[in-house]
Amino acid sequence: MKKKQCIAMLLAGGQGSRLGKLTTNIAKPAVSFGGKYRIIDFGLSNCLSSGIDTVGILVQYKPLILNRYVGTGESWDMAVQDGGVHILPPYASETGGEWYEGTADAIYHNIDFIDMYEPENVLILSGDHIYKMDYNIMLTEHLDNNADLTVSVIEVPWEEASRFGIMSTDDEGRITKFAEKPKKPDSNLASMGIYIFKWKVLRKALLDDHDDEKSSHDFGKDVIPKMLADKKKLFVYRFRGYWRDVGTVKSYYDSQMDLMDDMEHINVFTKDQKVYSNSNFYPPQFIGPKANVSDSLICNGCTVYGSVSHSILGSGAIVGDGSVVEDSIVLPNAKIGRNCKVKNAIINEGYETEDNAEIGDPDGEVAVFGRAKLSI
């Protein structure tokens, strides 16, 4: 088998507890996004458009929908002979079984997997970010700098900088300081949680980290500060574009509305760096004789009899006769009955409302309604 220049490890095991009901029974990377997508589509599609055909997906929290959704990776053109997607759950060994304890620990437990491909570099990704990025450009910089680690960073407003892992750099972009959620930040370059490591360097760092009893086995908290202290060559790669960590219900809602309101942000209609999904077996949407749909994104499989404005309807969603849906996101296969009023609401996947229901606070915060129903 050919040796790989770079393979990707996609961290998809987190619960995303701040997303509340959205992640009650679905891992955050598998949460529906933008109607027909799931959050992990963005990372996987970025890999495809960057020519990375080997991806390990580290799963742990409620992975059933995620596993099924990713499947063989065919939807992202990754059903290839010498690579492809690999779902990597925690597994038992001679000394017993252990859960992944942190981001670095998850990779540590899969050292053998990475060794199988003998890559020069390993790209570490989060499975829960919304962005389009060509990792090749980052990889080229990483190679040009002969860096041990390149961290993708994005400029954030100074007042928000204390919420992020902040990198300070010299003029060449070499990282001089790393501060996790600093009270008084001296830079506004925030880590996006996207790293390219030289595999040899990372491999050693992971073994050391595993032996360190004080470590919480996290890249941001432990591994990267240690590498910095060891005078390894750490560089930043500045990403300029739309990037969101949809960590809260509000940011989850806002970034989907961004996708609809301003296609400059993350245009899913463009053919270059296309975002792919695995939700393509629905018939075309049907818009009924008395329906009224405006300023909205509607997916295949939807049936609309009522009125929908400034909203997103996920694949297979149904809006009954006489219902009004405004400023809302209806997730795949949810069903709004007849004569309902839905405003500022996120209706969970597969959830069915009663007829005449009034859902959402017209003047208040956006909230999630219903428990997701698992189905295929």
Enclosing H/E stretch for 124 = strand 121-126
Of 176 and 292, CB closest to other proteins: 292
Which helix (H) or strand (E) segment holds residue 303: the answer is: strand 303-304
The least distance separating other proteins from the CB of residue 1, rounded to whole angstroms, comes to 23
Say which residue the tokens 């295949």 belong to: 300
Reading the block at residue 6, the tokens are: 């770079």
Angle (nearest 5°) at CA 84 between 196 and 79 = 145
Q: Which of 225, 236, 212 is nearest to 149 (CA)?
A: 236
Q: Smallest distance from the beta carbon of 267 to other proteins, in angstroms?
A: 8
Q: How far apart are CA 267 and CA 58, in angstroms?
A: 28
Kindly state the smallest distance separating residue 315's Cβ from other proteins, in Å.
8
| Piece of 63-71, 109-117, 205-213, 274-282 that binds other proteins (CB under 8 A) | 274-282
- Kindly indicate which of the ranges 30-38, 63-71, 198-206, 236-244 contains the residues binding other proteins, using the contact rule CB under 8 A: 30-38
CB 150 within 8 A of CB 167: no
* Cα–Cα nearest to 316, from 32, 43, 77: 32
- Give the whole-angstrom CA distance, residue 44 versus residue 46: 5
Q: Which is nearer to other proteins, 238 or 290 (CB)?
A: 290
Q: Which of 81, 93, 146, 294 binds other proteins (CB under 8 A)?
A: 294
Q: What is the DSSP string of 160-173?
A: GGGGSEEEEE-TTS
Q: Which two tokens stand for residue 100?
A: 């992944």
Task: Kindly tell me which residue out of 87, 143, 251, 276 binds other proteins, with binding defined by CB under 8 A.
Answer: 276
228 or 291: CB nearest other proteins: 291
Please tell me whether residue 268 binds other proteins under the rule CB under 8 A.
Answer: yes
Q: Which residue type is seen at 150?
A: T
Q: Is 300 an interacting residue with respect to other proteins (CB under 8 A)?
A: yes
Q: Give the C-alpha separation, 281 to 232, whole Å.
A: 49
- Minimal distance, residue 163 CB to other proteins, in Å: 31
CA dist 257 → 198, 328, 344, 372 (Å): 38, 9, 11, 21
The CB density around residue 147, as the number of other CB atoms within 10 Å, is: 24
Give the binding range for other proteins (CB under 8 A) out of 24-32, 139-147, 270-278, 356-364.
270-278
Per-residue contact string for residues 242-261; x = within reach of other proteins by CB under 8 A? ------------------x-
**Does 82 sit near other proteins (CB under 8 A)?**
no
Tell whether residue 312 is a contact of other proteins (CB under 8 A).
yes
Spatial separation of the C-alpha atoms in residues 12 and 30, rounded to whole Å: 9
- Using CB under 8 A, pick the residue from 296, 321, 339, 367 that binds other proteins: 296
In the list 160, 230, 295, 358, the residue contacting other proteins (rule: CB under 8 A) is 295
With respect to other proteins, which residue has the nearer C-beta, 181 or 274?
274
Q: Residue 91, interface with other proteins (CB under 8 A)?
A: no
20 in contact with other proteins (CB under 8 A): no
Q: Pick one of 23, 32, 75, 191: the residue that binds other proteins (CB under 8 A).
A: 75
Q: Which two tokens stand for residue 370?
A: 């219903």
133 contacts 239 by C-beta, under 8 angstroms = yes
Using rule CB under 8 A, residue 286 touches other proteins? yes
Q: Would you count residue 111 as binding other proteins (CB under 8 A)? A: no
Give the interface with other proteins as residue ranges (CB under 8 A).
34-36, 75, 260, 268-269, 274-277, 280-281, 283-300, 312-313
